[in-house]
Amino acid sequence: MLKKKGIYTLFAGLMILGLLLAGCSNESSGNESSQDAPAKKGNDLTVAVDANFISMDPHDTNDTLSGSAQRTMFQGLFGFGKDMEVVPVLAKDYKVNDDGTVYTFHLKEGITFHDGAPFNAEAVKVNIDRLANPDNHLKRHSLFAMVDSTEAVDEYTVKINLKKPFGAFINNLAHPAGRIISPKALKKYGDEVARNPVGTGPFKFKEWVPGDHLTVAKYDDYWEEDYPKVDKITFEPTPENGSRVAKLQTGAADFIYPVPPEQAKKIDGKNGIEVKAEPSIVVQYLAMNNRKEPFNDVKVRKAINLAINKEAFIKVVKSGFAKPLDSVIAPKTAFYSGQEVYKYNLEKAKQLLKEAGYADGFKTTVWGENNSTSMKGMQFIQQQLAEIGVEVEIVPMETGTMSEKIWSAKPNETELEMYYGGWSPSTGDADWGIRPLLGGKEAFPPQSYNTAYYSNDKVNELISKALLTADPKEREKYYAEMQKIIWDDAPWAFLSVDYTISGKKDYLKGVYLLPDGSLSTHDAKIEQ
């Protein structure tokens, strides 16, 4: 009896499996160039993103995603162009005094906020004062902590006085946190402004149902002629990769990001989908605790750099969507200066280890996040370092747990040996790409993000010199020298510069990701 039952079960199982496979087979054999996607109706745009929005108050936002939605509604005095270059937006031009402490801005005229309030020097003053006041507990206060006072000189001229020179100030103003909120709305809503955004941007806020969608609609009195070119944008948080891709395939979304690298090639060119991959400013690195043995020896750190095959790393871990990192910052970060890559060389790596007294290798641990991409990265490193006798134990941790482990210990007590991480300098400037990560003792956890516990007096000196001047030429010189020293010290194993990967329907033009991973819909247009 039992036997008979088994056969029945097997038979039924095979049938059901067959049915399921039949349902999916089209997809795998899908070479049919395009299953003609239904034509786009209307002039509205739907964007599927991978997480929920947190806040619509630019001054109190630290996630790039919320910043992307804010960009549709808000503008700053400056902003970033396609390659992270600083461009004037609401400012016409500016002057700096010789000390680099007084910035005078001339503003564009005839611009109004969505609530009708005029954009003028007073509006700028209200915003900068709000940011600069620590009592407001705004998450982006630190970018404006150097501001001493702000004056509205006349209707369209505003003067910002700094406590001391700060070379990257214009970049900080261009940062999404520097966007200007309607002073009328600030007064009316107070902290609730995070849910009632009012700016000068091409779109005005319509509706936000957390977890479901956020919608913005065309602002009819927008100051740039012929903009915006679409009527409405709806953002839909869709955390699951498969569902996000399905939304693009079915036309439920016109643009999605990120596209998971492993699916990028599979969907490109089908169903009218175009996948775009571009170098970002996100760097992937392996920090080594420079204060701990054996990583306190530069030979060991160089050996680790030589033992990791970056090309293979990119193929295996990043599905080919990255390029080798050749400085501490990515090429699209301001004041980047490329170095000569540590070429994969096992013999030389072994030789260096031997010279450092670790001919038989050693045992160590690497900390990193427990998501699948990070795990793959750490496993790759484990396998590569095994080749030179370095035995790596992987310690995957959930984000919250890891932040506790890293930031609750004093530098002398930390158990951290190696840390697998990534960084995106959101101001687009070398300062924010280097100082928090490698800027000496002041940046050691828990103060900041120097998980390599790296401190080089010369580098520290150059960092403060570069900060104390507003002259781009001088800054360039300091940063170039700094990057060379850091490269030679090899506090990290330098891994890769990641790509941003987005997918869109072919009728959609003008939507793109900036190198910092934020979205620009300013030029969005639907062309049938």
Partner 1 sequence: MVLRYISKRIIELIPILLVISILVFLFVHLIPGNPARLVAGKQATFQEVQSVAEELGLNEPIWKQYLSYMGGLFQGDLGTSLKTGRSVTDVIVSRFMPTFWLTIWSMAWSAVIGLLIGVVSATNRNKWQDFSGMFGAVSGISMPAFWLGLLLIQLFSVKLGWLPVGGNDSWQSYVLPAITLGTTVAAVIARFTRSSLMDTLKDDFVRTGRAKGLSERKVVWGHALRNAMIPIITMSGLQFGFLLGGSIVVEVVFSWPGLGSLLIDSISFRDYPVIQAELLLFALEFMLINLIVDLLYGIFNPRIRFD
Residue 400: CB minimum distance to partner 1, A:
3
- DSSP class of 365: E
Q: What angle do CA 396, 399, 404 make, to 5 degrees?
A: 95
- In the bound state with partner 1, the residue whose beta carbon lies nearer, of 39 and 209, is 209
- For the chain, the farthest-separated pair of C-alpha atoms sits apart, in whole angstroms, at 95
Contact in structure between 41 and 254 (CB atoms under 8 Å): no
- In the bound state with partner 1, the residue whose beta carbon lies nearer, of 249 and 309, is 249
Residue 439: CB minimum distance to partner 1, A:
11
- In the bound state with partner 1, the residue whose beta carbon lies nearer, of 321 and 423, is 423
Residue 122: CB minimum distance to partner 1, A:
27
Residue 134: CB minimum distance to partner 1, A:
7
- In the bound state with partner 1, the residue whose beta carbon lies nearer, of 13 and 357, is 13
- In the bound state with partner 1, the residue whose beta carbon lies nearer, of 219 and 423, is 423
Residue 53: CB minimum distance to partner 1, A:
9
Contact in structure between 281 and 84 (CB atoms under 8 Å): yes
Q: What residues make contact with partner 1 under the rule CB under 8 A?
A: 1, 5, 8-9, 12-13, 16, 20, 23-24, 26-27, 52, 54-55, 62-63, 134, 137, 139, 141-142, 145, 191, 194-195, 209-213, 236-240, 242-243, 246-247, 249-250, 252, 398-401, 403-405, 407-408, 423, 426, 432, 436, 446-449
Residue 521: CB minimum distance to partner 1, A:
20
- DSSP class of 43: S
- In the bound state with partner 1, the residue whose beta carbon lies nearer, of 149 and 399, is 399
The Cα 243–Cα 487 span in angstroms is 41
363: enclosing H helix or E strand? strand 363-369
Q: Which residue from 330, 297, 323, 318 is spatially nearest to 437, judged by alpha carbons? A: 330
- In the bound state with partner 1, the residue whose beta carbon lies nearer, of 252 and 480, is 252
Residue 123: CB minimum distance to partner 1, A:
23
Buried-exposed string 255-285: b where 16+ CB fall within 10 A, e elsewhere? bbbbbbbebbeebeebbbbebbbbbbbbbbb
Structure tokens at 181: 């909120």
- Neighbour-count burial of 137, counting CB atoms closer than 10 A to its CB (0-12 exposed, 13-18 middle, 19+ buried): exposed
The residues, ordered by sequence, that sit 6+ positions from 290 with a Cβ below 8 Å of its Cβ are: 296, 301, 452, 453, 454, 455, 491
Residue 145: CB minimum distance to partner 1, A:
8
Contact in structure between 504 and 513 (CB atoms under 8 Å): no
**Could you tell me which residues are beta bridge partners of residue 423?**
283
Residue 13: CB minimum distance to partner 1, A:
7
Residue 165: CB minimum distance to partner 1, A:
19
Contact in structure between 244 and 253 (CB atoms under 8 Å): yes
The Cα 329–Cα 515 span in angstroms is 12
- In the bound state with partner 1, the residue whose beta carbon lies nearer, of 49 and 304, is 49
Residue 402: CB minimum distance to partner 1, A:
8
Q: Scan for tokens 């900060």, then name that residue.
A: 467
Q: Which residue from 284, 274, 228 is spatially nearest to 254, judged by alpha carbons? A: 274
- In the bound state with partner 1, the residue whose beta carbon lies nearer, of 134 and 357, is 134
The Cα 159–Cα 323 span in angstroms is 42
- In the bound state with partner 1, the residue whose beta carbon lies nearer, of 194 and 468, is 194
Residue 523: CB minimum distance to partner 1, A:
27
Residue 388: CB minimum distance to partner 1, A:
32
The residues, ordered by sequence, that sit 6+ positions from 398 with a Cβ below 8 Å of its Cβ are: 369, 370
Residue 271: CB minimum distance to partner 1, A:
8
- In the bound state with partner 1, the residue whose beta carbon lies nearer, of 65 and 160, is 65
Percentage helix, strand, coil, to 5, in the chain? Answer: 35, 25, 40
The Cα 338–Cα 360 span in angstroms is 33
Counts for the chain of helices (H) and strands (E), in that order: 15, 21
- Neighbour-count burial of 368, counting CB atoms closer than 10 A to its CB (0-12 exposed, 13-18 middle, 19+ buried): buried
- In the bound state with partner 1, the residue whose beta carbon lies nearer, of 52 and 104, is 52
**Could you tell me which residues are beta bridge partners of residue 496?**
284, 324
- DSSP class of 412: T
- In the bound state with partner 1, the residue whose beta carbon lies nearer, of 142 and 149, is 142
- In the bound state with partner 1, the residue whose beta carbon lies nearer, of 240 and 340, is 240
